[in-house]
Amino acid sequence: MATILIIDDAAFSRRMLRKYLQIDGYEILEAVNGQEGLEMIKSHQPNCVLTDLLMPDINGFELLKLLKQENLKVPAIIISADIQDSSRQQGMELGAVGFINKPAKEDEVRQAVRQIFA
């Protein structure tokens, strides 16, 4: 089964996303900030990343830039409370394959992940 890395500084958000995705049998990894997430991407090579935007150390935008710079090809979905169109657009331009507003709904998250593996 596919491995999904959840990168979010909010424990509650990570817990909810884990709950939603474990239903479909995915292996879940968690990181509390972008720096830890980047290290886990390199060491664990997940099949998909769900990332918040506003985090300490490396934010979600910076993470997407680093993935591109380091040629780390992993589909990333942004899950953020930042609902500005400019943030959504910037995330997609940096290579995100999806953008979900917080609080994330279970069906939205599961559908977005399923599309990656379709």
pTM over 0.85: yes
Q: Give the CATH number for residue 8.
A: 3.40.50.2300
Number of domains in the chain: 1
- Domain extent for 22: 3-117
Peptide bond into 75 cis (omega under 30): no
The mean pLDDT of the chain is 96
32-71: pLDDT as tens digits: 999 999 999 999 999 999 999 999 889 999 999 999 999 9
Please check whether residue 110 is in contact with residue 20, taking contact to mean a CB–CB distance below 8 angstroms: yes
Total residues belonging to the chain = 118
Distance of alpha carbon 24 from alpha carbon 46, whole angstroms: 16
